[in-house]
Amino acid sequence: MERAAQTLNTAPSRTADALRIAAPVKEVGELQLGPQSLPIPEPGPDEVLVEIHAAAINPSDVKAALGMMPQAVWPRTPGRDFAGVVVAGPSALVGTEVWGSSGVLGIRRDGSHATHMVMEADAVRAKPAALSMVEAGSIGVPFVTAWEGFLRSGMPAAGETVLILGINGKVGQAATQIATMLRAKVIGAVRRDEPYAGHASGPVEVVDVSSTDLAERVREMTDGRGADIVFNTVGSPYYTAGAAALGKGGRMILIATIDRAVPFDIFAFYRGRHTYFGIDTLALSTAETCDRLDGMREGFDSGALKPYEIAPTLSLSDAARAYADVLGATRDRLVFEPRGAGR
């Protein structure tokens, strides 16, 4: 089959700025982070070149830079999430405003913390019109993780109870938005006295586990039934309480942990007819990841789903501070504008 014509429509400059990581280091302070001037990469026959307008910074970006991802290659440009414009590739795609994320980009090939990035043409997905570039570039990994969790476990049905452990983290907020959009009842767990911090399409009840028995309170709130879905965004610190709060036939979603080993009550597991789902978005290809984003397009276009509140955007020159802040568990959603913050 004849390939589509390749079109090049880049800016006058023939160089790109990109973060480059030559080798893994032990501490984030050891990273030599700063934009380097490189030739603009050339897309292959089945690829496109995207001019990056916005790219979020995720914990996985930083952990991969520190050598915590065994599949990572070196040297490379980090960055999994992005929004931008196709400037070279098949003519039908050039000019398309795109958004995306990936388990491959920024880990196994050069990613989005750059002014330009090459990606597979079959992974191109048009950005929702309702989102700005910065908003679209901020969605990525946390929303994909939440959507993949529900996709694997079964989307929450109207009236089901979803218990979200770590509700004020980015994945917790995304899961809350999705569950309330689908008219599920959401209960969130936090470790201090604080309200839910994100957007929701329905009421959200919050339980402070520092002063309340979580499983007991969830059963009180569900007439003794327990939660239909437990979405554990933290892992081991919440595992025992989350498992105890799970109702008959309930599903638990696990995406992260601090300690690998936890006490596992086999009797309660099989008598409760529970099912557990482990979610690893690094296993998803770019096309698969972008398909997950496209599954949420209608929600973002309708306003049922909303982007995070975003801290003032950053330039690539701010990378060292930004990576340290993300590794330090800042609650801010940090986003690069690689062509210059505030453009």
pLDDT band at 3 (very low <50, low <70, confident <90, very high): very low
Q: What is the mean pLDDT of residues 334-339?
A: 97
SS3 state of residue 147: helix
Q: What is the spatial distance between Cα 98 and Cα 85, in angstroms, rounded to a whole number?
A: 6
Element (H, E) at 134: helix 133-153
Which pLDDT score, from 0 to 100, does residue 32 have? Answer: 87
Q: What is the spatial distance between Cα 38 and Cα 20, in angstroms, rounded to a whole number?
A: 10
Backbone CA torsion sign across 179, 181, 182, 185: positive
Residues in contact with 270: Cβ distance below 8 Å, sequence separation at least 6, in sequence order:
none
Element (H, E) at 125: none
Tally of domains within the chain? 2
Dig out the tokens for 334 from the structure. Answer: 């940090």
Q: What is the spatial distance between Cα 252 and Cα 271, in angstroms, rounded to a whole number?
A: 15
44 shares its domain with 127: yes
If 0-12 CB within 10 Å is exposed, 13-18 middle and 19+ buried, where does residue 187 land? buried
75 shares its domain with 206: no
Query: What's the alpha-carbon Rg for the chain, to the nearest Å?
Result: 21
270 shares its domain with 154: yes
11 shares its domain with 113: yes
Residues in contact with 137: Cβ distance below 8 Å, sequence separation at least 6, in sequence order:
52, 53, 54, 55, 56, 81, 82, 83, 84, 99, 112, 335
277 shares its domain with 145: yes
pLDDT band at 2 (very low <50, low <70, confident <90, very high): very low
- 110 located within any domain: yes
- 164 located within any domain: yes
List, as one string, the DSSP characters of 28-40. Answer: GGG---SEEEEEP
4 has pLDDT over 70: no
Q: What is the mean pLDDT of residues 21-43?
A: 92
pLDDT band at 222 (very low <50, low <70, confident <90, very high): very high
7 has pLDDT over 80: no
Q: What is the dihedral of CA 235, 239, 245, 250, to 10 degrees?
A: 70
- 289 located within any domain: no
Q: What is the mean pLDDT of residues 248-263?
A: 98
- 163 located within any domain: yes
Q: What confidence tens digit (pLDDT) does each residue in 58-110 have?
A: 999 999 999 999 999 999 999 999 999 999 999 999 999 999 999 999 999 99
142 has pLDDT over 50: yes
265 shares its domain with 160: yes
For residue 187, what are the domain limits? 141-281
- 124 located within any domain: yes
CATH of the domain at 252: 3.40.50.720
9 has pLDDT over 80: no
Dig out the tokens for 15 from the structure. Answer: 């160089």
CATH of the domain at 48: 3.90.180.10
Dig out the tokens for 67 from the structure. Answer: 């050598």
Element (H, E) at 229: strand 227-232
- 231 located within any domain: yes
Q: What is the mean pLDDT of residues 50-55?
A: 98
- 299 located within any domain: no
**Percent of the chain scored above 70 by pLDDT?**
95
127 shares its domain with 145: no
Q: Detail the DSSP E strand segments found in 91-145.
A: 97-100, 116-120
173 shares its domain with 263: yes
34 has pLDDT over 50: yes
Which pLDDT score, from 0 to 100, does residue 115 have? Answer: 98
Q: What confidence tens digit (pLDDT) does each residue in 146-177 have?
A: 999 999 999 999 999 999 999 999 999 999 99
Q: Which of 119, 176, 117 is nearest to 142 (CA)?
A: 176
- Count of Cβ atoms closer than 10 Å to residue 38 Cβ: 16
174 shares its domain with 268: yes
Averaged pLDDT of the chain: 95
Which pLDDT score, from 0 to 100, does residue 231 have? Answer: 99
pLDDT band at 14 (very low <50, low <70, confident <90, very high): confident
User: Taking the complete model, does pTM exceed 0.85, yes or no?
Assistant: yes
Contact 308, 284 (CB under 8 A): no
89 shares its domain with 163: no
14 shares its domain with 100: yes
Which pLDDT score, from 0 to 100, does residue 141 have? Answer: 98
- 257 located within any domain: yes
Q: Which of 143, 90, 157, 91 is nearest to 121 (CA)?
A: 90
170 shares its domain with 249: yes
